[in-house]
Structure 1
Amino acid sequence: MQDRVLWLSTAIIDHANRVRPNPSGLKVGGHQASSASMVSIMTALWFSQLRAEDRVSVKPHASPVLHAINYLLGELDQRYLSTLREFGGLQSYPSRSKDPDPVDYSTGSVGIGATAPIWGAVARRYVEATVGGAGTGRQYSLVGDAELDEGAIWEAVLDPMVNELGEVVWIVDLNRQSLDRVVPNIGATRLQGMFDAAGWQVLTVKYGRLLQDLFDQPGGEALRRRIDEMSNPEYQRLLRCTPAQQRERLTGEDEQLRSLLGSLDDETLRDAVRNLGGHDLSALLDAFDSIDDTRPTVIFAYTLKGFGLASEGHPQNHSSLLTAGQLAELADRVGTSLDDPWTRFEGDSAAAKLCTATAARLRREPVVAHQVPPIPADIGRTPSGRATTQAALGRALLDLTREAPEAARRVVTLCPDVSSSTNLGGWVNKVGVWSPQERIDWFADDPETILHWRERPNGQHLELGIAEVNLVSALGELGATWSRWGQPLLPIGVLYDPFVERALEPWSFGIYAGGQSILIGTPSGVTLAPEGGAHQSITTPSVGLEQPGCVTYEPAFALDVEWTLLASLAKLGKPDGTSAYLRLSTRPVEQSLAAVPADPAARERRRRQVVAGAYPIRTTAADRPAVTIAAMGAMVTEALAAAERLDALGTPADVVCVTSPGLLFEATQARAGRDTAQTWILDAVLPARRAAPMVTVLDGHPHSLAFLAGVNHVRATHLGVTRFGQSGDLDSVYRYHGIDTDSIIQAALDVTG
């Protein structure tokens, strides 16, 4: 079985590069050597260990091995074996959403796919504890040793809740090579110590049975010591030596060792040098049997990059391809044929029976999809007084628990240690904090304690420490439960907006893998004036605008927050669902400026416009305005003040409040025939009959709204933030960046001539 998996994974890559026509001449790529180092591990895991309820994250460069196994198990049609990296074919790296065969976790972003099973374990436990239906099962992660250089790995390993997840098993492919070289230092001991210090069970599969038997013979201990003390490059070079050279390099002055090696024939010596535990099936199975399910486990499996291939152990084998002659030799050795590379095992053979039995053992029942209970579009409150959009978030969540308790039960919030400072305190007090087991709240009777930290299995808030990557990685897995177990959750992650970009990679990858969630950045922009440049976000509006599979909102008023949040929640947990990013502010705004219509029909019209991307908040009495001001978020206050003063100067101004530049851009593209979005919102907020020169303004990079001038092809000036900020009062900071009321007026007068 191991030989056939090696052959198929190698042939899949060879066909993509050498057989399939390539008119462009561009490199197709693939990783024969990286795949080969995982063949033994994956063969042992799939054909002896996995259960249907288990999930596996496969290291990116071993995707051909996964496809080879799925093919042998009848889960992949033969026609796909020739389509690696072809349009519509097998993806470069395992993809839940794009590959035609079963893939448990999308990988490819180094370190992110490796940690996904940790958050998958949290998501499974959360679902099982709150709504049920997630069952049990281990969460395996097949990790390349070079991936352990990634900081995301250690953020996850060190999180306090992780050492309680006994279903998590990592298997490290310790081939001691990176992209271009053999890693010079022996780092396994240090890495093992780091996992052990984090509370993990650490297992090591270093040597196979042949070497273990030799170690027990006279001179064997010297052989073990000699190999153990070798640097990685010296050992790798040994692999490519002749038997005579191997004896000379290994022996030194030790006569017992010389005698031991002299007793071995050349073939046995060659096999012994390569007999690492990660390629010894019995050693791997013993390690699997030793897994302690009370805490997470990491298995360090020593392997050879390119094991079984002519490129075995070479420092530059990462992307190398076997020659035609080498491929033919491999086919002959493993009993296959170049003329029929995709042949399966004969029907009555032991291997064929093993494939049939394994496929039956791993077969999963179809996921029964549950629907999210109805979510109201409008709770019906009309906020008054002065309020911030950040505070409105907590208010809206609490209102949801009263108006739609069944839907609210599926909401789960996450924070990186900023629950109280992002106004989630009331929500946390109401729903409690999730924990695998209930913990005592020692401050429950303290009258000065405002935020009550009640940890229990049915809590709905997760705190992940100050680690944004962990936050959004967990967010992605909680957002994928609808497709894994048919139980949709409504996950909301709240973090400081300046740190959204730090978290963007894993969140983006989670969306790519089907994880639907809401990310809320607050406080945002230079409006957080006293905090200075270190805590002021500039480009995050663009991040939301440009993230696929995501709708971005920057509401200006508390009611806008409620409406956009409810609309975003309603899009989660379904096959055609989308994620959302809300950018909120700590600036108090007078809510009467929103001028929410009292009439129910007019109110519903306003709500639809808010959710669709924009609404007219001020329309001058003139037949056509002299200027249109399009403002977003916190800057609406300045825009309205500027419009009043412009009217007094004889320059009548309309003001449009933009809530989602992304949705407006899609509508603009659709109007040009490049998208399928609805275009009515453009006619509602920027009708051609009122087209006028435009000023756009936001607390972020000005290009986020610059496209609006193209809706009616008007002259425009775009105000925003293009420099790192500095501390100061709000007026000073706005004036520094040119987004204050005076700057808007000057821009309007300039653009109108």
Structure 2
Amino acid sequence: MTDTMDTTDASSAIEVRARPGVASPERDVLRDVEDSVLWIATAMIHHANRVRPNPSGMKVGGHQASSASLVTIMTELWFEQLRPEDRVSVKPHASPVLHAINYLLGELDQRYLTTLREFGGLQSYPSRAKDPDPVDYSTGSVGIGATAPIWGAMARRYVDTAFGGPDTVSHDVPATGRQYSLVGDAELDEGAVWEAILDPAVAELGEIVWIVDLNRQSLDRVVPNIAAGRLEAMFGAAGWQVLTVAFGALLEALFTRPGGDALRRRIVGMSNPEYQRLLRCDADELRSRLPGEGADGEAISALVADVDDAELVRAFRNLGGHDLDALRNAFHAIDDTRPTVIIAYTIKGHRLPTEGHPQNHSALLTVEQFEDLAAELGRDPQNPWTRPDADSGAGRLCADTAGRLRRTAVSAAAPPTVPADFGRTPAGTSTTQAALGRVLLDLTRSAPDAAARVVTVSPDVSSTTNLAGWLNKVGVWSPQERQDWFADDPETIMHWREKPTGQHMELGIAETNLVGLIGELGATWSRWGQPLFPIGVLYDPFVERALEPWSYGIYAGGQSILVGTPSGVTLAAEGGAHQSITTPSVGLEQPGCVSWEPAFAVDVEWTLLASMAQLGRPDGTSSYLRLSTRPVDQSLAAVPTDPAARERRRRHVVAGAYLLRRAERPAVTLVGMGALMTETLAAADRLAGLGIDADVVCVTSPGLLFEAVQARRGVQDGSSWILDRVFPAERAVPMVTVLDGHPHTLAFLATVNRVESISLGVSRFGQVGSLDEVYRWHGIDTDSVVRAALDLVGDEPGRS
């Protein structure tokens, strides 16, 4: 059925077969449940599109065909295989199947079945945060939901080794539960999938089970070149067990007859488009076209001539992914010492009138087709939500499954208290990046309970992002302790001690993996009742590469801290390829996240501690810190020595901004952020020499300031007090804003008091050069700030 399909190579895959002629009352009951799942899932989509009023006329959708291809797999998984400790990620377009199963298990109220894709109702794709029924993993963004259980497995193992739990692996199946991903074959085109599969840490996760719904179709077409053999080889090369479920019992029975070997060769060697086309044929046309023009044609013709019409049509579409026995055998063959992928052959739109059609992705059954399906399944289209009778075999199976899968409610432990201030005032010259490592080390001394909840993650950049000291102290997490062969090497500065008690997790160079992992580490408080403080560290230029999966993790309830460092065109010698421009704007706009760009080491301390204090709780938020490798004179921070004044400064820092210099009669306000506070302060000094006094404001969080502006306007809830402290109306004067990033990030600040303004920043790709040269080329050097201020207020002497 694919151009290179080969299920006989035992070195790369094991073909799992159904036994012909096997039948049992239990399987008949399960098939009744399967019918109910197919019907309810299809009816939900039908109601949303054909029954519910739609005044706007906009498409609703719901993917009946994509749902149908997974019905058998999900029925077998839920009603025979799952245990309460297992977790499942369901491919986005099969969300109606998940809701149908939850309804049959009593986990979803009937009133929601009419609300698919309706405001306040069932979401378009499974949502852990927004759906009213149990959803283990939010999916919807291609590739991200598929890989989430990998990071969920690592997070579960970390929680168990750090805080106690059942043994990770028992003699039978993982005691912490399997982590299943139900993946569409077209989803395997997403590069993030393979980044996760190939990470060296994944090969040890025996609880990972992927089931690939190999229906050979994407959104627009039959996929011509999905080669099962190639997929098998790729998974096998990554160390995964590969189980292929190609054919069901009806086809296997035909293969045992005279001419059966020829029929197998013909189907195996058939291209995807040809197989899909034959699905649209009736029995007579199938007899004519199936033999083909090869040497096996005569034997195939003789075989199919003796098969009645109905059996021939059923057998040709009897693939392994629609055969309960074949799937059951595959689940029983799972080797829990390594990840497993089950490649299950399916038909998109199985048992629906749209079955196998190349454009069935968004197709909807007509009213007549829906009524025909109801007659075939013995359902009432006017009363579609009837559950199986409680006294029937299907009803009892649903009740027994609901009892078996019932989970104990999780009681989340309260996260430990995070200190707000260590009381130190950094001196000398330092960088905000270096301050990150120092804050983590200070936390181990000042608040060990809080420090014990910190887990750092990086993609092979621990040393270059100043985590070496932290890593030396806490060690690297590993399920098993490994020998550090450089422990006695006096020239080794960073010691790589791998042990189950380590608090740093290192992945390969794949930023999507990093943010996927910190997202799941940030969800452990709600999954297993153990809050963590996950901190992911990566180069700021690559934040945007990681942004989509991190954003999706926040959407799914994962709370974490992402640190981008080093950042901006301040990376002068690295050139344009390694200079981030838009990340300050991205941080400002990311929902569920507070963005920070501290200028001084003490600001890093206060903002990082404030970020940690927001993790691991129902009302928590994520944070993004943008740090720099530029050495800065720490005396410029002018941290107050009076305790009350220091606390006032800290409160302003964590509210988004503080007044760093206050002029007696300001003619202009200079607003800087991050590394450019040095130029901002130097410009203030230069202007003072010209008789032009300036207030100097240091912004730590443009996002918090924008929220304050919105709150003042009544657009959203919140407080706006920081605006009155930093930008009081009585001191309103023209404003210059400057940052190492896109100027639009701070441009909104001029609206606080509606003053004239000039916004300086970076809006073109960078250049290699010295810091002065690069700043001058982008117009963010001290001269540029002074010129902008003079353009606003003039250069007349004596303005002060």
Q: What's the TM-score bracket when you normalise by the shorter of the two chains?
A: over 0.9
Q: Could you say which residue in structure 2 is the equivalent of 1:281?
A: 324
- Residue 251 of structure 1: CA displacement? 2.2
- Residue 674 (str. 1) matches residue 706 (str. 2): no
Instruction: Find 1:199's aligned residue among 234, 239, 245.
Output: 239
Q: What amino acid is the match of 2:130? A: K
Aligned residue in 1 for 2:255: 215
Aligned pair partner of 2:375 in 307, 317, 332: 332
Match of 2:97 among 42, 49, 65: 65
2:51 to 19, 25, 31: 19
Indicate the SS of the match to 1:275: coil
Q: Name the SS for the 1:451 alignment partner.
A: coil
Q: Which runs of 5+ in 1 are unaligned?
A: none
- Provide the residue aligned with 1:514 in structure 2: 557
Residue by residue over 1:234-255, the C-alpha shift from the partner in whole angstroms, topping out at 9 and shown as x without a partner, is: 0011111121111111224643
Cα deviations across residues 346-396 of structure 1 (Å, max 9, x unaligned)? 120010000000000110011011011111000111100000000000000
Contact 1:613 1:659 in 2 (8 A): yes
Task: Identify which of 485, 496, 509 aligns with 1:442.
Answer: 485
Which residue of 128, 148, 152 corresponds with 1:96? 128
Q: CA deviation at 1:185?
A: 2.2
Measured after TM superposition, the shift of residue 257 of structure 1 is 2.2
Aligned partner of 1:40 among 61, 72, 79: 72
1:300-321 residue CA offsets vs partner (Å, 9 max, x unmatched): 0000000010000000000000
CA distance in 1, matches of 2:470, 2:762: 33
CA distance in 1, matches of 2:791, 2:661: 21
Deviation at 1:133, TM superposition (A): 4.5
Would you say 1:569 and 2:609 are equivalent positions? no
The equivalent of 1:418 in structure 2 is: 461
Match of 1:241 among 281, 295, 299: 281
2:22 aligned partner: none
- Mapped to 2, the partners of 1:151 and 1:503 lie a distance apart of 12
Question: 2:574 and 2:692 mapped to 1: Cα distance?
Answer: 36
Inter-partner Cα distance in structure 2 for 1:727 and 1:423: 24
1:10 aligned onto 2:42? yes
Structure 1 position 96, deviation (Å) = 0.2
1:124 equivalenced with 2:156 (yes/no)? yes
- SS of residue paired to 1:142: strand
1:735 Cα deviation from its structure 2 partner = 0.3
Summarize the alignment of residues 483-632 of structure 1 with structure 2, pairs less than 5 Å apart: 483-622=526-665, 625-632=666-673
For the 8 Å contact 1:54–1:140, the answer to whether it is kept is yes
Q: Retained in 2: the 8 A contact 1:370–1:487?
A: yes
Aligned to 1:653: 694
1:386 to 429, 440, 450: 429
Q: Contact conserved, 1:667 with 1:681, CA < 8 A, in 2? A: yes
User: Alignment partner for residue 106 of structure 1, among 119, 134, 138?
Assistant: 138
| Alpha-carbon distance between aligned partners in 2 of 1:90 and 1:698, rounded to the nearest angstrom | 43
Shift of 1:132: 2.6
2:201 aligns with 161
Aligned AA (2:633): E
**Alpha-carbon offset, residue 256 of structure 1:** 3.0
Task: Please state whether the residue corresponding to 1:161 is helix, strand or coil.
Answer: helix
Q: How far, CA to CA, are the matches of 2:279 and 2:729 in structure 1?
A: 74
Matched to 1:630, the amino acid is V
Measured in 2, the distance between the counterparts of 1:257 and 1:692 equals 88
Quick one: which of 300, 314, 320 aligns to 2:343? 300
2:734 aligns with 693
State yes or no: 1:171 paired with 2:211: yes
Equivalent residues of 1:13, 1:31 under 8 A apart = yes
Which residue of 629, 634, 637 corresponds with 2:675? 634
Deviation at 1:40, TM superposition (A): 0.3
Deviations along 1:283-309, one digit per CA (max 9) or x if unpaired, are: 000000000000000000000000010
The amino acid across from 2:752 in the alignment is V
Q: Give the gaps of 5 or more residues in structure 2.
A: 1-32, 167-174, 795-800
> Is residue 2:408 matched to residue 1:368?
no
How far does the alpha carbon of each residue in 1:329-361 deviate from its partner, in whole angstroms, 9 at most, with x for none?
111111111111000111200100000000001
Does residue 1:751 correspond to 2:783, yes or no?
Answer: no
CA distance in 2, matches of 1:666, 1:310: 51
Q: Partners in 2 of 1:733 and 1:718 — Cα distance?
A: 18
Pick one of 183, 187, 199 that aligns with 1:143: 183
Task: State how far apart, in whole Å, the 1-side matches of 2:431 and 2:528 are.
Answer: 37
Matches within 5 A, 1:347-358: 347-358=390-401
Pick from 311, 314, 317 the counterpart of residue 271 of structure 1.
314
- What residue number does 1:399 align with? 442
- My pick for the range that moved more, 395-404 or 130-139, is 130-139
Partner AA of 2:711 in structure 1: A
**Secondary structure of 1:170's partner?**
strand
2:225 and 2:525 map into 1 onto residues whose CA distance is 44
C-alpha separation between the residues in 1 aligned to 2:716 and 2:109? 33
Normalised by the length of structure 2, the TM-score is: 0.93
Distance 2:180 2:281 in 1: 36
Aligned with residue 76 of structure 1, among 108, 133, 149: 108
Q: Which position in structure 2 is the counterpart of 1:451?
A: 494
Offset from partner CA, 1:682-735 (integer Å, 9 cap, x none): 011111111100000000000000000000110000000001001100000000
Counterparts of 2:233 and 2:388, CA distance in 1: 43
Name the amino acid aligned to 1:22: N
Report if aligned partners of 1:616, 1:656 keep a CA contact under 8 Å in 2. Answer: yes
Task: Give the superposition deviation at 1:648.
Answer: 1.2
After superposition, the C-alpha distances for 1:513-540 in whole angstroms (9 at most, x for unaligned) are 0000000000010011100101100000
1:662 to 2:738 alignment: no
1:711 aligned onto 2:752: yes
SS at match of 2:624: strand
Give the fraction of aligned pairs with identical amino acids, expressed as a percent: 75
CA contact (8 A) 1:41 1:284 kept: yes
- What number of residue pairs does the alignment pair up? 751
Structure 1 residue 186, shift from structure 2 partner: 4.5
Question: What secondary structure, in the 3-state scheme, does the structure 2 residue paired with 1:359 have?
Answer: helix
8 Å CA contact 1:133, 1:485 repeated in 2: no
Match in the other structure for 2:8: none
| C-alpha distance in 2 between matches for 1:571 and 1:321 | 45
Residue in structure 2 matching 1:251, options 291, 295, 305: 291
- The letter of the residue matching 1:432 is G
For 2:10, the equivalent position in structure 1 comes to none
User: Structure 2: how far apart are the matches of 1:244 and 1:229?
Assistant: 22
When structure 1 is superposed on structure 2, of 11-20 and 240-249 the one drifting more is 240-249
Residue 186 of structure 1 contacts residue 231 of structure 1 at CA under 8 Å; is this kept in 2? Answer: no
Distance (whole Å) between structure 2 residues aligned to residue 109 and residue 223 of structure 1: 39
Matched to 2:768, the amino acid is S
Alpha-carbon distance between aligned partners in 2 of 1:423 and 1:455, rounded to the nearest angstrom: 19
2:695 is matched by which residue type in structure 1? D
In structure 2, what residue type is equivalent to 1:698?
A: L
Superposed CA RMSD in Å reads: 0.8
Q: Counterpart of 2:363?
A: 320
Q: Mean alpha-carbon deviation: is it higher for 25-34 or for 247-256?
A: 247-256
Following the alignment from structure 1 to structure 2, what is the Cα–Cα distance between the partners of residues 463 and 653? 46
SS in 2 for 1:629: strand
- Greater displacement, 242-251 / 322-331: 242-251
Take 2:631 and 2:439, find their aligned partners in 1: how far apart are those partners? Answer: 17
Q: For 2:437 and 2:225, how far apart are their aligned partners in 1?
A: 51
| Separation in 2, partners of 1:725, 1:189 | 45
Partner of 1:731: 772
- Inter-partner Cα distance in structure 1 for 2:226 and 2:632: 59
Distance, in Å, in 2 between the alignment partners of 1:121 and 1:296 is 11
